[in-house]
Structure 1
């Protein structure tokens, strides 16, 4: 068993970029005491456990932009760092169509323990850093599945935003300048107060521009794909900010 990671790993905190990268679904790690939440090992390699390719994409972006980066250390199945604490999907009993046995029927004490162990340390670290960075732009780095519940998704990437409409739409245009790309404008998801945390809390509520980047997982399946998307996004982000 590998050593238990910290709840959050911060890289390049002294980076000069205005962009601050946050990867809430970076890891599929589940401590041994949770017995894989009752799931076979193969299930933990799926999107239900983490955003495939997102951590490596975020690390590459951090280098290209000289941007600070905050990476989560634990699986979203234990507690989802991009969900409000009260959301039913915070600790999911079903993810996509897969039951999560180790999350069924847990009590308030266990919910509070997971919040204290993983959710609060991650977001306190991000919030504390942002407090000392006037003008920071928050960028959540995510990936999404090519097919969800039987429906194919046509987008190569999506930009999700709430209040940051100028920046979000400018980023969509910057990526869509490549005619080979299908870029979602608040697709394949939307930012919703009931179901999202990073953009509403670290961005909108604090008066900062904030977006989530979503890149389709099959485009991040190898080093070449992740490198290509890192360079594409590293060029588009400064253009969108203006």
Structure 2
């Protein structure tokens, strides 16, 4: 199933695993001009680099993947309505003049993109209740506005429900990885999609951030897809 808003890979099954990638695409719909150089659309401010390929490789044997179809610069789908950054006017030091759209413009994008995306996602989850939801993201090794490099290969985020997170952190550390517990972001703050679709319904979930240099090429994507598939199976087994 595919629309401009999302693409569903595989068939969701009850008791399976659903991978959700809210920042999988850098697509800008017709009629929107962000007013930025084209090369910025291939950088982390516009898309979670490597995530779509990892999610696609994870699909199969009870795992499906839900990939957003629009850039986070058009509408950040992993935000709450009214939350700063939903329509960023500046991202990592870059001005986004096409997002100076006022209250009416923001409301129009919510109605056209955000609301139908999350309605369709919830309908899919209700149709085949998963054993685990995986919110898959990637993060840049360092921000342009900060010289300090980020040491974690992977971060695990959570808000109130840390059931799956605690299992996952231990499994990843056992592999010798440097794992961020609520790093490089805190799930108390940046967990909107999982708050909406997982915590609000009691569904176990993992909110995962992989450092982009780990999944920037096919070899890394294959390695991490296998690792994430194995991790998710281990978490489900232990829940």
| TM-aligned CA deviation for residue 209 of structure 1 | 1.1
TM-score, structure 2 as length reference: 0.92
Matched, 1:152 2:141: no
Query: Equivalent residue for 2:81?
Result: 85
| TM-aligned CA deviation for residue 143 of structure 1 | 0.4
Q: What is the CA–CA distance in structure 2 between the aligned matches of 1:157 and 1:211, rounded to whole Å?
A: 12
Q: What is the CA–CA distance in structure 2 between the aligned matches of 1:62 and 1:190, rounded to whole Å?
A: 27
| TM-aligned CA deviation for residue 233 of structure 1 | 1.0
Query: Equivalent residue for 2:94?
Result: 98
Q: What is the CA–CA distance in structure 2 between the aligned matches of 1:103 and 1:122, rounded to whole Å?
A: 20
Query: Equivalent residue for 1:19?
Result: 17
| TM-aligned CA deviation for residue 215 of structure 1 | 0.6
Q: Deviations over 1:31-90 (max 9, x none)?
A: 34223x110011111100010001111111123x53121111110001100000110111
Gap regions ≥5 residues in structure 2: none
Report the aligned-residue RMSD. 1.8
| TM-aligned CA deviation for residue 212 of structure 1 | 1.3
**More moved, 143-152 vs 126-135:** 126-135
In the alignment, which of 38, 54, 58 is matched to residue 55 of structure 2?
Answer: 58
Number of residues paired by the alignment? Answer: 234
> Given the superposition, is the C-alpha separation of residues 204 and 43 from structure 1 closer, same or farther in structure 2, using an over 3 Å criterion?
same
Q: Deviations over 1:109-166 (max 9, x none)?
A: 2112211221112111111111233353211111000012222000001111123322
Q: What is the CA–CA distance in structure 2 between the aligned matches of 1:231 and 1:167, rounded to whole Å?
A: 18
Q: What is the CA–CA distance in structure 2 between the aligned matches of 1:16 and 1:228, rounded to whole Å?
A: 27
Query: Equivalent residue for 1:39?
Result: 36
> Given the superposition, is the C-alpha separation of residues 32 and 122 from structure 1 closer, same or farther in structure 2, using an over 3 Å criterion?
closer
Question: Is the 2:15–2:129 contact (alpha carbons within 8 Å) kept by the matching residues of 1?
Answer: no
Query: Equivalent residue for 1:169?
Result: 166
